[in-house]
Amino acid sequence: MRASLGDESARVWQEPNSESISLTSIHKGEEFEIGKVIRKKKEVWVTITLDNGVTGFISGDTHIFAIQQVEAVGNDLELYQQPDSSSPVLATIAKKTLFTVRGVETVNEESWYRAETEEGMQGYIKSGARLRAKPQVTKESARKMMITGALFAVGGAVLYFLFPSNPEAAGGNTSFISLGLILLGLFQVFQGFAQYRQQSKKD
């Protein structure tokens, strides 16, 4: 999962230990990939990978913001040049249009989301906007979808062959249920495979 730093700065350590070597420092708004969360004694550490390829650990107390694609649920949204309602409006984001929220800024006790449109235009929207997150697709989620689909398909096939429909039985036609499970399973398998390939290309 991709995230950005919410604190002013944070050190990246070589090991999940503040007594290890400090590899570098990251600053507010800087983006990185989040890896495994490590619990060591009473401390929590998060594995991160920077865009330059450096991998290290940050403290679990560090404030980070999960970058995600969202869409406006209610009204259209105005994208401001600065986190200030008196600054110029760069664009209007229509409701149900996907865009990316990359961070949050607090100015004069008012919170603003740092946003980017699909066209690459960056600006700020008011944090009170009603947003709906788009489910993130990862290799792991795609793999789970393929496994679930395969289980549905196999279950439908077993039901079809072990319990053939008997038209004369009261309410006993199971073939439609079996075929429905098989089709649903195959659909999930192909959809999961497509998502897995797409994520593999990104990597």
Per-residue model confidence as pLDDT tens digits over 113-157: 999 999 999 999 998 888 888 766 666 777 787 888 788 778 777
pLDDT average, residue stretch 162-167: 58
Q: Among the CATH numbers 3.40.50.2020, 3.55.30.10, 2.30.30.40, 3.40.50.1110, which is that of 2-66?
A: 2.30.30.40
Say whether pLDDT at 70 is over 60. Answer: yes
Predicted pLDDT at 176 = 57
The reported pLDDT for the residue numbered 203 is 58
- Local structure of 29: helix, strand or coil: coil
Give every CB contact of residue 82 below 8 A, 6+ residues apart in sequence.
123, 124
pTM score: 0.62
Task: Give dist(CA 116, CA 46) in Å, integer.
Answer: 26
In whole numbers, what is the pLDDT of the chain averaged over residues?
83
Contact present, 29 and 5 (Cβ < 8 Å): yes
Looking at the chain, the whole-number percentage of residues with pLDDT higher than 90 is 40
With both helix axes pointing from N to C terminus, report the angle between 175-202 and 139-162 in degrees, rounded to the nearest 10: 160
CATH class assigned to 68-133: mainly beta
User: Which is more confidently placed, 140 or 173?
Assistant: 140
